[in-house]
């Protein structure tokens, strides 16, 4: 699994978790909701972190216009810096997108044209247009507990339209626990509940869906797969 550091001040603590537990890897960046509260990161700092053998991704970064519209310019600048770091390291970018689909699609498209990079749309809950654009760019969509909520039929349709080889699973712990644990603190074990719903969406047995999404993880997070092997 990959655990996420959303402020670089916390990177030593997150790194220690990965160093302590063999199956845990980590990514680091500045969450868009924190961009206005902390110093702007530079690509060199992120590239430097990538030297650690268990550092396997850049971010999460992205755009969040739901709570933090007052920092749109800073968020967009930070996102482009994270893209540069992903491009330079060859590590996947972890993207957070909320209420910013048009700007997200535009920036990712512009940056991809400037130089290819890999990416996962973390905790994907946006509309079909952003999903289609991300898939066209070769990116992955990640299913969180939101996809298992009873009221998320439209989101499940977005995932169902995607190729199975572009789907990942996550918890976004400690939030968004899927049924039957909705309302509780989320934890990695609950990803199995999201996977059961995902298997139904794709018309697969649970075991096959689990195997396919694990293959996808190892393809995208190749550094983690290589370390384990």
pTM of the complete model = 0.96
Q: Which residue has the tokens 């499940």?
A: 156
Q: Which residue has the tokens 């310019």?
A: 73
- Domains within the chain, CATH numbers bracketed: 2-228 (3.20.20.140)
Tens of pLDDT, residue by residue over 173-185, are 999 999 999 999 9
3-state secondary structure the chain: CEEEECCHHHHHHHHHHHHHCCCCEEEECCCHHHHHHCCCCCHHHHHHHCCCCCEEEEEEEEEECCCCHHHHHHHHHHHHHHHHHHHHHCCCEEEEEECCHHHHHHHHHHHHHHCCCCEEECCCCCCHHHHHHHHHCCCEEEECHHHHCCCCHHHHHHHHCCCHHHEEECCCCCCCCCCCCCCCCCCHHHHHHHHHHHHHHHCCCHHHHHHHHHHHHHHHCHHHHHHHC
Tens of pLDDT, residue by residue over 71-90, are 999 999 999 999 999 999 99
CA atoms within a 13 Å half-sphere pointing along the CA-CB vector of 125: 18
> CA angle at residue 74 from 128 to 105, to 5 degrees?
20
The whole-number mean pLDDT for each consecutive block of 10 residues of the chain, a chain of 229 residues, reads 94 97 97 94 96 97 95 97 98 97 98 98 97 98 97 98 98 94 95 98 98 98 89
């Amino acid at each position: 699994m990959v655990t996420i550091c959303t402020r670089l001040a916390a990177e030593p603590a997150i790194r220690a978790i990965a160093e302590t537990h063999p199956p845990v890897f980590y990514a680091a960046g500045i969450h868009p909701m924190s961009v206005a509260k902390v110093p702007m990161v530079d690509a060199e700092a992120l590239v430097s972190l990538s030297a650690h053998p268990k550092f396997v991704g850049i971010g999460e970064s992205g755009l969040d216009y739901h709570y933090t519209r007052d920092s749109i310019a800073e968020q967009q600048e930070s996102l482009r810096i994270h893209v540069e770091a992903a491009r330079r390291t060859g590590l996947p970018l972890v993207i957070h997108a909320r209420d910013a689909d048009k700007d997200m699609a535009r920036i990712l498209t512009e940056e991809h044209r400037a130089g290819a990079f890999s990416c996962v749309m973390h905790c994907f809950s946006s509309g079909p247009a952003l999903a289609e654009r991300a898939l066209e760019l070769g990116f992955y969509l990640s299913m969180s507990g939101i996809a298992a909520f009873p009221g998320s039929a439209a989101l499940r349709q977005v995932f169902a339209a995607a190729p199975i080889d572009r789907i990942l699973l996550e918890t976004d712990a400690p939030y968004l626990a899927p049924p039957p644990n909705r309302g509780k603190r989320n934890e990695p074990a609950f990803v199995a509940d999201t996977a059961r719903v995902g298997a139904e969406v794709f018309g697969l047995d649970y075991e096959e869906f689990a195997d396919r999404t694990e293959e996808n993880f190892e393809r995208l997070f190749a550094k983690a797969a290589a370390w384990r092997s």
